[in-house]
């Protein structure tokens, strides 16, 4: 059984998120850690993928996202040509309505237990073991400044934002075995990793579990990045900052309450302002706000005004995306029935293209808006003089020489010797 991701067209063809190339597959690492009988292949070159197919496999499975479906179709056809008897599909891309007719079996949500059953045993949610997975981060492209230890500590989300696929993809909510997480933390520490990135959809939603988890982060003296809601960050800000939180990121989406209510975000703009105010008082904290353009109730002018409100809120960095409907979400159903989805080019589903008929904004206008808002919110001068100054000078005031050792000496040196592609399992 061979499980793999989409192939690379050239050597450096990786998705880059926040100056960090995604070179590992968390989903496949989890499966391999818990079902060792499978083999995994992460982001191979095409020739590497074809060479593995020649080895002869009973099953070839694919983990992919919506924007990768075009490439996956080619990979499926090649696997069929090599006589693979059964093709599987998983990850968020498997939610696309066309996938069941393309493959023999579709997995929705964590698949450790279902795949283990093929080999005659079970993996219960409480027994799932955490794998090793890391990502290099660069402030300057091509130069490794740090290596983040990746974590995925909890599955599922109790909120049902209209644009999000998580409620349908991860129907069951559970946390990952804490002992296995600590084992991975010890390994990261041994390598010299100084920063962690828990990739949970909503960090902190399990208070008792999160308290134990953040105590572990503090015990091993990690600094960490987390994504959550403004309300949760405000509630636990003092404790989490004391235990190493330095990069909180919030899905703001909009600073207009009617837009938030329209997407069932269940977030109040006052919570966002309160988060910005409270977090500005914390030394060494670098705050990221995620913003969406293309709300159906906004014109181009109102969208620019919304971006200006976000700018005034006080985040140190911003990420800007275009509202994109994904299969099996309330947003998909609403936009397809009310306005129509005109663009079915899967490569455009990267949150940067308008793929549906917006009532007030054309695709060309959206392209202009996106560029204009990025120039407003993602200015290098703000990043250097505001964001980095908060991170560096605040870090020095908070941690003193420890900040210099962690961020300017130990972390960068360790990153030079860490192979993030190396597969390590316990």
Q: What percent of the chain has pLDDT over 90?
A: 84
pLDDT digits (tens, 9 = 90+) for 141-152: 667 888 999 999
Calculate the CA 25 to chain-centre distance: 11
The predicted pLDDT at position 385 comes to 64
Q: What percent of the chain has pLDDT over 70?
A: 98
The predicted pLDDT at position 222 comes to 94
The predicted pLDDT at position 383 comes to 64
pLDDT digits (tens, 9 = 90+) for 188-235: 999 999 999 999 989 999 999 999 999 999 999 999 999 999 999 999
Instruction: Tell me if 422 is assigned to some domain.
Output: no
The predicted pLDDT at position 111 comes to 96
Do residues 144 and 284 both lie within one domain? Answer: yes
For 383, the token pair is 């990043």
Rounded CA-CA distance 315/317 in Å is 6
The predicted pLDDT at position 140 comes to 66
Q: How many C-beta atoms surround the C-beta of residue 413 within 10 A?
A: 11
Rg over alpha carbons for the chain, rounded to the nearest Å, is 22
The predicted pLDDT at position 93 comes to 97
Do residues 233 and 102 both lie within one domain? Answer: no
pLDDT above 90: residue 406: no
pLDDT digits (tens, 9 = 90+) for 243-291: 999 999 999 999 999 999 999 999 999 999 999 999 999 988 999 999 9
Measuring CA to CA, which residue among 179, 180, 173, 184 is closest to residue 148? 184
Do residues 278 and 158 both lie within one domain? Answer: yes
Residue 329 near residue 163, CB atoms below 8 Å:
yes
Measuring CA to CA, which residue among 340, 285, 343, 353 is closest to residue 314? 285
Greater confidence, 401 or 181?
181
CATH number for the domain spanning 147: value is: 3.20.20.70
CATH number for the domain spanning 30: value is: 3.40.50.280
Do residues 121 and 139 both lie within one domain? Answer: no
Q: How many C-beta atoms surround the C-beta of residue 231 within 10 A?
A: 18
- Contacts of residue 28, defined as CB under 8 A and 6 or more positions apart, other chains included, come to 3, 4, 5, 40, 42, 63
Q: Give the domain-ending residue among 127, 145, 180.
A: 127
Residue 188 near residue 134, CB atoms below 8 Å:
yes
User: Which segment of 235-239, 281-285, 364-368, 398-402 scores lowest on mean pLDDT?
Assistant: 398-402
Instruction: Tell me if 426 is assigned to some domain.
Output: no
pLDDT digits (tens, 9 = 90+) for 296-354: 999 999 999 999 999 999 999 899 999 999 999 999 999 999 999 999 999 999 999 99
Instruction: Tell me if 424 is assigned to some domain.
Output: no
Do residues 335 and 230 both lie within one domain? Answer: yes
pLDDT above 90: residue 33: yes
Instruction: Tell me if 425 is assigned to some domain.
Output: no
Number of domains in the chain: 2
Q: How confident is the model at residue 404 (pLDDT cuts 50, 70, 90)?
A: confident
Rounded CA-CA distance 310/253 in Å is 9
3-state helix, strand, coil in the chain (%, to 5): 45, 15, 40
Residue 128 near residue 30, CB atoms below 8 Å:
yes
Instruction: Tell me if 381 is assigned to some domain.
Output: yes
In terms of C-beta density within 10 A (0-12 exposed, 13-18 middle, 19 or more buried), how is residue 90 classed?
A: buried
For 318, the token pair is 């911003």
Instruction: Tell me if 423 is assigned to some domain.
Output: no
For 122, the token pair is 């079970």
Do residues 266 and 345 both lie within one domain? Answer: yes
Do residues 116 and 140 both lie within one domain? Answer: no
**Mean pLDDT value of segment 129-150:** 87
Residue 317 near residue 278, CB atoms below 8 Å:
no
Greater confidence, 415 or 61?
61
Q: Which domain holds residue 402?
A: 134-417
pLDDT above 70: residue 11: yes
Q: Give the domain-ending residue among 127, 161, 189.
A: 127
Do residues 145 and 114 both lie within one domain? Answer: no
Rounded CA-CA distance 181/382 in Å is 36
pLDDT above 80: residue 7: yes
Calculate the CA 357 to chain-centre distance: 27
Where is 402: in which H helix or E strand? helix 401-404
For 237, the token pair is 């800000």
User: Which segment of 121-125, 170-174, 273-277 scores lowest on mean pLDDT?
Assistant: 170-174
Instruction: Tell me if 304 is assigned to some domain.
Output: yes
Do residues 57 and 152 both lie within one domain? Answer: no
Do residues 86 and 39 both lie within one domain? Answer: yes
Do residues 253 and 369 both lie within one domain? Answer: yes
Rounded CA-CA distance 308/303 in Å is 9
Do residues 352 and 208 both lie within one domain? Answer: yes
Instruction: Tell me if 145 is assigned to some domain.
Output: yes
pLDDT above 80: residue 395: no
Greater confidence, 183 or 406?
183
Q: Give the domain-ending residue among 127, 150, 172.
A: 127
pLDDT digits (tens, 9 = 90+) for 98-115: 999 999 999 999 999 999
């Amino acid at each position: 059984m061979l499980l793999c991701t989409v192939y690379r067209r050239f050597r450096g063809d990786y998705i880059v998120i926040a100056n960090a190339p995604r070179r590992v597959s968390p989903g496949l690492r989890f499966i391999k850690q818990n079902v060792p009988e499978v083999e995994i292949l992460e982001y191979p070159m095409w020739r590497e993928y074809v060479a593995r197919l020649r080895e002869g496999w009973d099953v070839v499975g694919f983990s992919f996202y919506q924007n990768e479906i075009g490439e996956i179709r080619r990979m499926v056809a090649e696997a069929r040509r090599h006589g693979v008897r059964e093709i599987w599909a998983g990850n968020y891309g498997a939610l696309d309505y066309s996938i069941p007719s393309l493959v023999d079996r579709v997995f929705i949500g964590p698949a450790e237990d279902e795949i283990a059953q093929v080999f005659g045993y079970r993996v219960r949610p409480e027994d799932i073991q955490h794998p090793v997975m890391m990502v290099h981060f660069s402030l300057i492209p091509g130069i490794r400044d740090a290596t983040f230890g990746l974590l995925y500590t909890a599955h599922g989300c109790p909120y049902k934002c209209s644009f999000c696929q998580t409620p349908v993809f991860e129907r069951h909510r559970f946390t990952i075995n804490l002992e296995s997480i600590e084992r991975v933390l010890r390994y990261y520490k041994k390598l010299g990793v100084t920063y962690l990135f828990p990739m949970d959809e909503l960090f902190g939603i399990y208070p008792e579990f999160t308290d134990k988890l953040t105590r572990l982060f503090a015990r091993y003296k990690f600094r960490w990045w987390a994504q959550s809601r403004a309300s949760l960050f405000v509630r636990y800000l003092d404790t989490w900052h004391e235990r190493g939180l330095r990069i909180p990121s919030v899905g703001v989406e909009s600073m207009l309450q009617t837009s938030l209510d329209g997407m069932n975000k269940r977030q109040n703009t006052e919570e966002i302002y309160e988060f910005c105010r409270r977090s500005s008082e914390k030394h060494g904290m670098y705050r990221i706000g995620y913003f969406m353009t293309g709300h159906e109730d906004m014109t181009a002018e109102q969208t620019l005004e919304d971006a200006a409100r976000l700018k005034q809120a006080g985040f140190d960095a911003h990420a800007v995306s275009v509202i994109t409907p994904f299969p099996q979400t309330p947003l998909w159903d609403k936009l397809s029935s009310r306005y129509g989805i005109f663009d079915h080019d899967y490569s455009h589903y990267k949150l940067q293209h308008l793929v549906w008929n917006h009532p007030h904004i054309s695709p060309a206008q959206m392209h202009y808006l996106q560029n204009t808002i990025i120039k407003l919110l993602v200015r290098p001068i703000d990043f250097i003089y505001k964001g980095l100054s908060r991170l560096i000078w605040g870090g020095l005031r908070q941690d003193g020489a420890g900040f210099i050792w962690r961020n300017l000496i130990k972390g960068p040196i360790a990153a030079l010797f860490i192979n993030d592609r190396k597969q390590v399992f316990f």
